[in-house]
Structure 1
Amino acid sequence: MPAYDAILAAPMCTLGVRFTGDALTRLDYLLADAPVSTRLDARARQLNRELDAYWHNPAHLFDLLFVPRGTPFQLRVWHALMRIPAGKPMTYGALAKRLGTAARAVGQACASNPLPILIPCHRVVAASGVGGFMHAATGAPLDVKTWLLAHELNAGEGGDERRAD
């Protein structure tokens, strides 16, 4: 397992976290049984609070410094992902059309996203079904994507009665 600054619990898995200075630079989905960090520094505590807010309200806007590293094209796709509202998935084709590119290129940029959840690549789906996730077409990655989509859709349909932030 790569070195992480913290491993945080999430409802559907655990999350490996890396920071560069004060900026969050990587968030990896890990197996649910990965050992969670018992001591968190201030950066990890803030991220944990922000994620808790998201687990309670999928429309939560993250208020922490995060810096994705990628190509100019990937950054353009990732910025577009952050404009997709929670509970309103968009197809790869629709996002590609909006960006003037190919659906496959959008899919590759989504799969290379270093900060899932904060940059919500799970909100991009295939024209017929969920599509892939994190360079996978089956297995645990798709289970995570399905959970995140259901979490956001259920909250949008009144499944989560808690107030917005």
Structure 2
Amino acid sequence: KQLLKYSAHAVAALGRLSEVVRRQIASSEEPLDALFLCFEAELEQKVFFYPDDAHAVRDIMHAFVLKRMLLDGIEAGDNGQICRVVERLQRANLAHVTLNQPVNAALDTPLHVAVRQRNAVAARVLVDSGASSTRQNLRGDTPCQYFMLPRSSKAARLIRATPGHARPRAGEEGAGG
């Protein structure tokens, strides 16, 4: 939310946006497109010792911004935004890595958050797009075990039904559910 609100203004304040980029931003219907246009304009002004580093920076920033937008969509229950962000991640070949990265201090993945929010649509989109149903957070919970409280939710049942989902064996922490 803050990224979209302040990034264009910050780059514009530096006076680095060309008139062409300003027109593209003004005509953009998608705020995320405007943000990426600003970022690209700023990145073009940077000099890298190794030119390929610009590609790495671009990928890191795109993944970070998209992951933040994905988390915002999950927390807001905005399934349309979730689908749009996942589609962008897939087009940029960043889906597999980004969907399995932690999004908070508890090392929850977007799938953990979707289950906590009891959003079965988000959980399905994430699993279908390559999110791991076996990734553990800081407490060792997989998404369907999240705090062991919402494990009976439709989102958690969907994850347990996913092929390849590892179930805890008897005697292991989290077994018995």
Normalising to structure 2: TM-score of the pair?
A: 0.29
The structure where helix makes up a greater share of residues is: 2
Greater relative CO (CA pairs within 8 A, separation 6+): 1
Larger Rg: 2
